[in-house]
Structure formats: C-alpha cells, structure tokens
Amino acid sequence: MKYMLLSALAAVVFPMLSTAQEVQYDNSPISNFNLKRYLGPWYEIARFDHSFERNMQNVMAEYLLRDDGKIDVINSGWKNGKYKVANGKARQPDPDDPAHLEVSFFMFFYSDYNVLMLDDAYQVALVGSRSPDYLWILSRTPDVDDSILGDLLEEAESRGYDTGKLIWVDQSLNR
C-alpha cells in the first residue's frame, strides 16, 4: 500500500515539476507586416528537426497570392537524391494580426505560422509557430551574413527558443 501511495504521488508531482521548469517562450508575431512584400521565394537557412522535412536539403519555400486572398505555398527540396515538392495554402485569419498566418498542406488542417522577426528590406525572417518545437530561419538568398545571422539567433534566444537545436540546411545546389 505504501508503494502504491508513493507511486501515485510521484505520478502527480513529477509532471508538475517538469512543467514548472519549462522555459517560457514568446511566439508573438511582429506587428508591422506587409504580406505583398513577403511573397516570393525564400531559402531555408536553418530549422528545428521535424518529420515532414527530415533529411531535406536545398529547401525553398515560395509564397504566391491567389485571387481569393489566400496564399499558395510551394515547399521544395532534395531528399535522398530525389526532388520533392509539397503544395499547400496559407491564410491570414485576423487582419489585425497580419504576421500570424495559418498554413495547411493537408485538407483543412492548419498550423500556425508566425513571423517573429523580419528585417526592413524583407530579406531575412525568423518564423515560429504556436509550439516551441518549430522554428525556421529564412532568407531571400542561400547565404546569410554572419552578423545578420547573429541577430536572428539572438532574437530567437530572447524569445526562449533553444537555437542549439537548429539544423543548418545545405543550400549548395542553390548557389
């Protein structure tokens, strides 16, 4: 009986301890955002690992405005010597929060896409989602200057993201 009580107590207390130790992060999108300037091609410089892009290299995303106001999303890259393309769509659910998008690659299931940082020239971007498990660094060119990259990493860290988990994407075929 004593062991059952200890097991029950541990089952309740340990999850609470791990929750209390979780790092808070800020996934709020920027306030000043112009979708039309954001449209076009972007190179993926770095990302957190996730199953739908695992082992992909030379990854690009292109955003194209549709007549209905939604955005076509075309993600492409190379995986195991084969060129892969994923077509999706995005929308801006709230005009008062324009840098918060929702993206779908499967039917009507949408995921958050928050532009967390964007330079004035719309040349580099830091993108996250509702979950701290997703983070991307995007650029209009396949290479990013080290000082700019440092600013992006600093911003991600200040928002609570673990930049040590970033995977740096090989863009050698796009140079």
When the pLDDT of each residue in the chain is averaged and rounded to a whole number, the result is 89
Three-class SS state of 121: coil
Write out pLDDT tens, residues 22-51: 568 899 999 999 999 999 999 999 999 999
Tell me whether residue 11 is in a domain. Answer: no
- Domain encompassing residue 110: 30-174
H helix intervals, 30-173: 35-38, 146-158
Tell me whether residue 8 is in a domain. Answer: no
Tell me whether residue 138 is in a domain. Answer: yes
> What is the reported pTM?
0.86
Write out pLDDT tens, residues 134-143: 999 999 999 9
Which pLDDT score, from 0 to 100, does residue 8 have? 38
Write out pLDDT tens, residues 146-169: 999 999 999 999 999 999 999 999
CATH number at residue 100: 2.40.128.20
Tell me whether residue 3 is in a domain. Answer: no
Which pLDDT score, from 0 to 100, does residue 167 have? 98
Tell me whether residue 24 is in a domain. Answer: no
Q: What is the count of structural domains for the chain? A: 1
Tell me whether residue 2 is in a domain. Answer: no
Tell me whether residue 16 is in a domain. Answer: no
Tell me whether residue 95 is in a domain. Answer: yes
CA torsion angle for 68, 92, 36, 120 (degrees, to 10)? Answer: 180
Q: Are 77 and 58 in contact (CB under 8 A)?
A: yes
Element (H, E) at 156: helix 146-158
